[in-house]
């Protein structure tokens, strides 16, 4: 990319720069595994311990020797609970080698090596018999194989095999059963994540193509912290329904199966989404319940346990439709061995339960947050108002973003010639369908070329007078990956008129020191848990962080994770898109004063784009921080989070306490690295 203006291939948005060693990959997985979150989930741990004690007691009361099989053993915590509860022996099965190695250390360190055997295999590969992995079948089955969707980690096939090959008939199971709940709802917010809505611009109506409007979408679950979706953001059209129950103490089938529940609509509205969660009965009597229900279902929401390893689910109905108050409805769910999907029926008609499958390409190319971004009327108006000031009758406009409507807006505002460059073929195909549906196919060109391949011939012998971008790229993870737009601008430098307008003009990296209400748990040290020493796992998590995150941030949608600002937000680096990408690194140093008391967990970072002298768009904070430090974050993009190696207290008393930073942008790779140091007066 010498000079950033030649025809050399540009880096992809996302900037691949990770180490490729096997050790790095293993520790990368550990860092992302949320073991710290699970070990800090005291509600989960307490319910499991109580359930295990009860199961061991039931088997002991039958006069049997207690042999436990722990599938998905992780750190070995549940196995140690079982032995502490009186089990004679425990087989702990963990397929992931680094975690199995840590579990061996933890079990040995806690004095359980003679009663717990770590088996580093998938449970379906475990053998039983003299000299085999297990000497005998187990009569207590303990598992933690669940994800947000309950069955998404392969729980059903694992249970099916375990009952057939690894446990005795009539075994005690912890958990004993699981129940999946669902509620039909109307929600403009959640519904905007699944379908493109009509958009009004300059008196014209941009319609979604039929292929997108009628598409059932993808079947993958939308897992979110549903507790952060206010009940004011949706209307419940029916009661919470118990859709189906799985009894883990009996043989389990992984074969596809359907369930349905009938109810009467409590109010009229548009059926758009199904909100779903589950709970676990740890004992047969149902007296020990571990629930994943959102906080607003609790009489006292503040008492709801927080978790990130288990969240809640939103499912989008294949077809939205109006329902009337008092209407008899049937909500149906179907599952295969790994996923669920829902359908709605009424008046004796069965719900359609064919697996959702995207046929329009848009749902495969764009994230659900991207659909929400395209449907955001306020955001659209900000872009259109800024474009009005730069689009002229003789404008030769080139758009560089994925799945962007800005080139369409530029045409509607009167640009003479408009080209749109999409980096992803599926996204480009979806945009072609949108242009065709709005009779714009010959007015906005979508050449199948990369920015550095564009020539004067593609522009009809003219030069670019207006280069536009949101910027958005499908492969971006961190906020600054969208700086790919800057590289594209540099590659197109020779095709720009001397007076060409670059839109946006610049981007600024903003940072703020924050105290998280809950997110800190995913990176917290976990030296002990429920009386068991898990230091080896803590050391592995820390090593993972040292390898992957010592100078890097990680992406999180902070609207799902409440936090308080302990410092003012500050723009620490500005990227001037009117100039080419510099050859040398850009380094920014400074400090963030700690003006509020609280526990400093890390730094949040995001980009704000200046579209015009008067219009900016933030991908982070969308309103100024209030007096108490509360933050309101954009729902459309993920922000970057840099976690401090250890949290520290801020007095916020106006003293000299501050966080000093060094931010470095490397033009050769597009990476941004961050170093923070804390000094207290």
| Residues with catalytic roles | 144, 153
Strands 506-516 and 138-143: unpaired
Torsion of CA 118, 120, 122, 123, to 10 degrees: -20
Strand order in the sheet with 328-335: 257-264, 328-335, 340-346
Record the tokens describing residue 488, joined without a space. 């594209």
Nearest Cα to 596, choosing from 632, 617, 627, 623? 627
Q: What's the first-to-final CA gap in the chain, in angstroms?
A: 46
Which residue is associated with the tokens 């009167």?
A: 414
Q: E strands within 189-268? A: 199-201, 204-206, 222-224, 235-236, 241-247, 257-264
Given a contact cutoff of 8 angstroms between Cβ atoms, the answer to whether 89 and 68 are in contact is: yes
- Rounded to the nearest angstrom, the gap between the alpha carbon of residue 623 and the centroid of all alpha carbons in its chain is 23
Nearest Cα to 223, choosing from 146, 142, 280? 146
- Rounded to the nearest angstrom, the gap between the alpha carbon of residue 289 and the centroid of all alpha carbons in its chain is 27
How many Å apart are CA 213 and CA 194, to the nearest integer?
Answer: 9
CA distances from 52 to 49, 85, 132, 261 (A): 5, 7, 25, 32
- 287: three-class secondary structure by DSSP: coil
Strand partners, 641: 554, 604
Q: Which residues contact 87 (CB under 8 A, 6 or more apart)?
A: 56, 66, 67, 68, 115, 140
Nearest Cα to 140, choosing from 75, 82, 80, 73? 82
How many Å apart are CA 587 and CA 663, to the nearest integer?
Answer: 6
How many Å apart are CA 483 and CA 624, to the nearest integer?
Answer: 24
Q: Say how many C-beta atoms besides its own lie within 10 A of residue 624's C-beta.
A: 10
Strand partners, 321: 271
Nearest Cα to 167, choosing from 142, 202, 191? 142
Q: Say how many C-beta atoms besides its own lie within 10 A of residue 189's C-beta.
A: 16
Record the tokens describing residue 312, joined without a space. 């809640």
Helices (H), 366-414: 368-374, 377-388, 406-412
How many Å apart are CA 374 and CA 633, to the nearest integer?
Answer: 17
Given a contact cutoff of 8 angstroms between Cβ atoms, the answer to whether 78 and 144 are in contact is: yes
DSSP secondary structure, 71-113, as one string: ES-TTSHHHHHHHHTT-SEEEEE--SHHHHHHHHHHHHHTT-T
Q: Which long-range contacts (CB under 8 A, 24 or more apart) does 297-300 make?
A: 297/240
How many Å apart are CA 663 and CA 573, to the nearest integer?
Answer: 8
Q: Which residues contact 439 (CB under 8 A, 6 or more apart)?
A: none
Q: E strands within 517-621? A: 528-529, 532-533, 554-556, 563-565, 570-576, 586-593, 598-610, 616-618
Given a contact cutoff of 8 angstroms between Cβ atoms, the answer to whether 91 and 119 are in contact is: yes
């Amino acid at each position: 990319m010498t000079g950033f203006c030649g025809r050399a291939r540009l880096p992809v948005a996302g900037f691949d720069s990770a180490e490729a060693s096997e050790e790095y990959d293993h520790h990368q997985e550990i860092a992302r595994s949320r073991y710290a979150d699970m070990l800090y989930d005291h509600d989960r741990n307490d319910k499991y311990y109580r359930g295990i004690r009860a199961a061991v007691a039931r088997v002991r009361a039958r006069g049997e020797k207690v042999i436990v099989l722990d599938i998905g053993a992780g750190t070995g915590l549940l196995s140690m609970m079982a032995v502490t509860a009186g089990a004679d022996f425990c087989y702990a099965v963990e397929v992931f080698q680094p975690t199995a190695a840590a579990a061996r250390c933890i079990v040995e360190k806690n004095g359980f090596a003679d009663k717990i055997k770590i088996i580093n295999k998938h449970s379906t590969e475990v053998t039983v018999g003299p000299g085999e992995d297990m000497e005998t079948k187990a009569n207590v089955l303990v598992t933690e194989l669940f994800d947000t969707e309950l069955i998404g980690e392969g729980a059903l096939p694992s249970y099916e095999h375990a009952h057939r090959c690894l446990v005795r008939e009539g075994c005690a199971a912890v958990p004993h059963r699981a129940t999946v709940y669902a509620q039909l709802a109307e929600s403009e917010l959640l519904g905007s994540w699944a379908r493109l809505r009509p958009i009004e611009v300059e008196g014209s109506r941009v319609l979604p193509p039929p292929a997108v409007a009628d598409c059932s979408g993808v079947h993958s679950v939308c897992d979110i912290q549903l507790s952060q979706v206010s009940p004011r953001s949706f209307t419940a059209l029916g009661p919470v329904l118990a859709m189906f129950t799985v009894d883990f103490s009996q043989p389990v089938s992984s074969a596809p199966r359907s369930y349905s529940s009938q109810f009467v609509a409590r109010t009229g509205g548009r059926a758009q989404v199904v909100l779903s969660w589950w709970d676990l009965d740890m004992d047969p009597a149902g007296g020990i319940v571990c629930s994943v229900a959102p906080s607003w279902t609790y009489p006292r929401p503040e008492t709801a346990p927080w978790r990130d390893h288990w969240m809640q689910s939103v499912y989008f109905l294949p077809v939205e439709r109006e329902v009337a108050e008092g209407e008899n409805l049937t909500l149906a769910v179907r599952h295969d061995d790994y996923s669920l999907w829902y359908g709605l029926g009424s008046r004796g008609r069965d719900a359609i339960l064919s697996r959702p499958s995207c046929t329009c390409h848009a749902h495969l190319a764009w994230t659900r947050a991207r659909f929400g971004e395209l449907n955001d009327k306020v955001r659209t108006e900000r872009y259109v108002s800024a474009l009005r000031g730069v689009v002229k009758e003789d404008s030769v406009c080139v758009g560089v973003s994925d799945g962007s409507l800005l080139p369409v807006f530029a045409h509607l505002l009167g640009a003479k010639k408009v080209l749109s460059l999409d980096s992803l073929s599926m996204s480009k195909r979806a945009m072609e369908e949108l242009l065709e549906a709005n009779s714009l196919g010959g007015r906005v060109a979508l050449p199948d070329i990369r920015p550095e391949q564009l020539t004067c011939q593609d522009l009809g012998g003219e030069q670019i007078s207006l280069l536009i971008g949101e910027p958005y790229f499908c492969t971006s993870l961190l906020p600054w990956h969208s700086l790919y737009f800057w590289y594209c601008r540099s590659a197109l430098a020779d095709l720009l008129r001397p007076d060409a307008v670059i839109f946006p003009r610049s981007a600024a990296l903003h940072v703020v020191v924050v105290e998280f209400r809950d997110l800190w748990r995913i990176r917290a040290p976990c030296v002990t848990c429920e009386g068991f020493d898990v230091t080896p796992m803590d050391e592995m998590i820390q090593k993972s962080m040292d390898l992957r995150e010592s100078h890097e941030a990680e992406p999180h949608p902070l609207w799902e994770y409440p936090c308080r600002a302990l410092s003012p937000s500050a723009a620490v680096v500005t990227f001037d898109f009117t100039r080419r990408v510099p050859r040398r690194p850009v380094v920014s140093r400074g400090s963030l004063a700690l003006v509020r008391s609280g526990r400093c967990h890390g730094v949040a970072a995001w980009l704000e784009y200046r579209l015009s002298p008067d219009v900016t768009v933030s991908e982070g904070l969308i309103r100024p921080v209030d007096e108490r430090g509360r933050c309101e974050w954009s729902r459309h993009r993920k922000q970057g989070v840099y976690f401090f190696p250890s949290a520290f207290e801020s007095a916020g008393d106006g003293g000299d306490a501050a966080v000093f930073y060094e931010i470095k942008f490397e033009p050769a790779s597009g990476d941004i690295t961050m170093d923070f140091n804390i000094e207290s007066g």
